[in-house]
A and B are shown apart, each in its own frame.
Chain A
Amino acid sequence: MPNRISIRIDGELVQGERGQTIFEAAQSNGKFIPGLCQFKGLSTVGACRLCIVEVQGVNRLIPSCTTPAQDGMAVITRSARLNEYRKQALELLFAEKNHVCAVCVSNNHCELQAYAQRLGVTNVRYAYRYPKLPVDMSHPRFVIDHNRCVLCTRCVRVCNEVEGAYVWGVASRGVGSRIACEMDRAWGSASSCTNCGKCVQVCPTGALAEKGFAAEEMIKRQDMVERLATIRGVMQPGGAR
C-alpha cells in the first residue's frame, strides 16, 4: 500500500496517508492538536502557531498544519515546552487587539477563549496594546469588528476557495495588518460579496458576526461550511484547490 505511511504520535504508532499534514494525520487518528487558523477543507497558512509540534531530529518547533507527514516521522504533540509556547502565542493574540470577552457576541462560543481556558491561560504577561480599530457595520446582515480579529484568515480562504467570491484580503503589514474588504472598501458597498455568510460562520472569534445578536448569543454553524469545503471533487489532501 504505497499511499499508507506510518508515523509515531506521542509514542503511539499510527497510520496516515501520503499527502496528509501532520495535523490531519493526528486528527484522523483521534489525536488532538490545537489550531485557530486551521479549518477542515481550507488551505493551510500556519498563521496562529498553536499547532506547533516537536518532530524528532528537528531542532525547531514545526507548525503541524503546514508540514506534510512523512513515513517514519516521530511527532510529539503534547509537552510542557509546547504548552508554554502555545500559551505565549495565545497571550500575544490577546494583547494585540481589544478582546473584551465579557461583552462579546461570541462569549462562551469563541475558539480563542476556549483555547485560553483549555491551555490554562489565566492572564496575559504582555502589555496590552489597546489599538484603535474600526467596526464596519455597513453590510445589511453582517458586521466585522477588527478589535476581535486574530488574523487567522479563515474568512479570506473560505471566500476564495469555497464561495469563489474573493471579497476578503489582508491589508497593511506587521502589527498594522487587518482584514480588508475588496480594495479596502466598506463591506456594505462591496460589489463582489454574495452575502453567503461563510466568512462569518468560520470566524473563530466574534470578529465576524451576524447582526442582531447581543453578548453571548452568536453561535457559529461551522458544520455546513466544513462539508462544503470538503466535498468538492477537486479537494486535495491538505486542503486547497
Chain B
Amino acid sequence: MKNVAKARLATAWLDGCSGCHMSLLDIDELLLTLAGKVTIVFGPLVDAQHFPEGVDVALVEGAVSSQDDLKLAQAIRERSKVVVALGDCAVTSNVPSMRNTIAPSRLLERVYVSGVDLHPGVPEEGVPKLLRAATPLHEVIKVDVHVPGCPPSAAAIAHVVTELLAGRKPELAGTAVKFG
C-alpha cells in the first residue's frame, strides 16, 4: 500500500456531554478505514495539550459557554481548513443554552452557594469564567458544515467525514439528519 499523506483530523469538546464523540466512535469498522486515512492530532481521544497548526478537518462538539471555549474556538478557526459544528450543542447551543435566561453570577450562586450544605463557595481557581450566554459555534466563528442531532447518528458522522476526506462538501438536506 502506498504511503499517502494522512489528513490531519482534530476533534474538540466544548460545552457538551461528549455524546457526539461517543457517536463518532460508534462508526464501527469505518474507524479502521479512517485510521489509515487520518491522524487525530487533537481532542479528548488523544493527548495533545495545544491545538496544533495545519489541521485539515476539525469536528467541534459543544456550545461556546466559557472563556476557554471561546479561545479554543478561535484557535480552531485560525488553524483548521474545515470546521464542522458537530451536534446540536455546537449547532443550536441546545441544552447548555437553557441557562441563558439566568445571569451567570446568579446561576453560580444558586448552584455553589445556596444550593449546597458543605463548603459553599463559587470555584474560581482552575475553572474558566462563564460567558454571559452559551451560544452556537457559528455565532463566534465561521462554520463550514453543520451536522445537527443529539447526537448526530454514526451514519451521519461517517457520511460527513467520508465526504470531507474525499474533498467534497457533505450534503445533508433531505437526509435523516435533524435537530434533536
Chain A residues engaging chain B, CB cutoff 8 angstroms: 94, 98-104, 107-108, 110, 113-114, 116-117, 119-120, 122-124, 127-128, 130-132
A66 shortest CB reach to chain B, Å = 28
Which of A101, A122, A128, A132 meets B180, CB within 8 Å? A101
Best-buried of A94, A114, A117, A132 by chain B (most CB within 10 Å): A117
Q: Are A122 and B148 in contact (CB under 8 A)?
A: yes
Query: What is the CA–CA distance of A124 and B173 in the complex, to the nearest angstrom?
Result: 14
Name the 7 nearest CB pairs between A and B, nearest first.
Answer: A101-B180, A120-B173, A102-B150, A123-B146, A117-B178, A132-B101, A130-B100
- B138 located at the interface, meaning its Cβ lies under 8 Å from any Cβ of chain A in the complex: yes
Q: Nearest residue in B to A215 (C-beta to C-beta)?
A: B180
CB distance from A52 to the nearest CB of B (A): 19
Please classify the interface of chain B as helix (H, G, I), strand (E, B), loop, or mixed, using the class held by over half of its residues: loop
**Known contacts being A100-B95, A117-B178, A122-B91, is A130 close to B101, with CB within 8 Å?**
yes
- Residue in chain A with minimal CB distance to B91: A123
Could you tell me the distance in whole angstroms from the C-beta of B86 to the nearest C-beta in chain A?
Answer: 12
> Do A123 and B95 have beta carbons less than 8 Å apart?
no
Instruction: Tell me, in angstroms, the Cα distance from A107 to B92 when the chains sit together.
Output: 15
Contact across chains for A116 and B178 when beta carbons are under 8 A apart: yes
Contact A100 B91 (CB under 8 A): no
The answer to whether B133 touches A123 (Cβ under 8 A) is no
Q: Is the CB of B133 within 8 A of A113?
A: no
* B88 engages A122 (CB within 8 Å): no
B66 at interface, CB cutoff 8 A: no
> Taking A117-B177, A117-B178, A123-B146 as contacts, is the C-beta distance between A102 and B97 under 8 angstroms?
no
Which residues of B in the span 79-116 have a Cβ within 8 Å of any Cβ on A? 85, 88, 91-95, 97-98, 100-101
A102: which of B95, B146, B174 is its contact (CB, 8 Å)?
B95
Q: How far is the CB of A33 from chain B (nearest CB, A)?
A: 18
Cβ-defined contact, B146 with A127, below 8 A: no
Q: How far is the CA of A191 from the CA of B19 in the complex (A)?
A: 46
| A110 vs chain B, min Cβ distance (A) | 8
The answer on a CB contact under 8 Å between B101 and A123 is no
Query: Considering residues B88, B92, B150, which has the most beta carbons from chain A within 10 angstroms of its beta carbon?
Result: B92
Give the distance to chain A from B53, nearest Cβ to Cβ, in Å. Answer: 27
- Asked whether, in the complex, the Cβ of A98 is within 8 Å of the Cβ of B172, the reply is no
A-chain residues with CB within 8 Å of residue B147 when the two chains form the complex? 122
Q: In the complex, what distance in Å separates the CA atom of A226 from the CA atom of B125? A: 59
Which residues from chain B sit less than 8 Å from chain A, CB to CB? 85, 88, 91-95, 97-98, 100-101, 133, 135-136, 138-139, 143, 146-148, 150, 172-174, 176-180
Q: How far is the CA of A116 from the CA of B178 in the complex (A)?
A: 7
The interface residues of chain B lying within 8 Å CB-to-CB of A122 are 91, 146-148, 172-173, 177
Which chain A residues lie closer than 8 Å to B93 at the CB level? Answer: 128
Task: Please indicate the chain A residues that have their CB under 8 angstroms from the CB of B150 in the complex.
Answer: 101-102
- B29 CB to closest chain A CB (Å) equals 27
* Known A-B contacts A108-B180, A117-B178; A123 and B98 likewise in contact (beta carbons under 8 Å): no
CA–CA, A132 and B97, complex, Å? 12
Which residue of chain A has its CB nearest to the CB of B147? Answer: A122
- CB A210 to nearest CB in B, in angstroms, measures 19
Given the complex, which residues of B lie within 8 Å of A94, measured CB to CB? Answer: 92
In the complex, residue of chain A having the shortest beta-carbon distance to the beta carbon of B179: A101
Given contacts A102-B88, A113-B179, 15 further A-B contacts (CB under 8 A): A99-B92, A100-B98, A101-B178, A102-B94, A102-B150, A113-B180, A116-B178, A120-B172, A120-B174, A122-B172, A123-B138, A128-B97, A128-B139, A130-B101, A132-B101
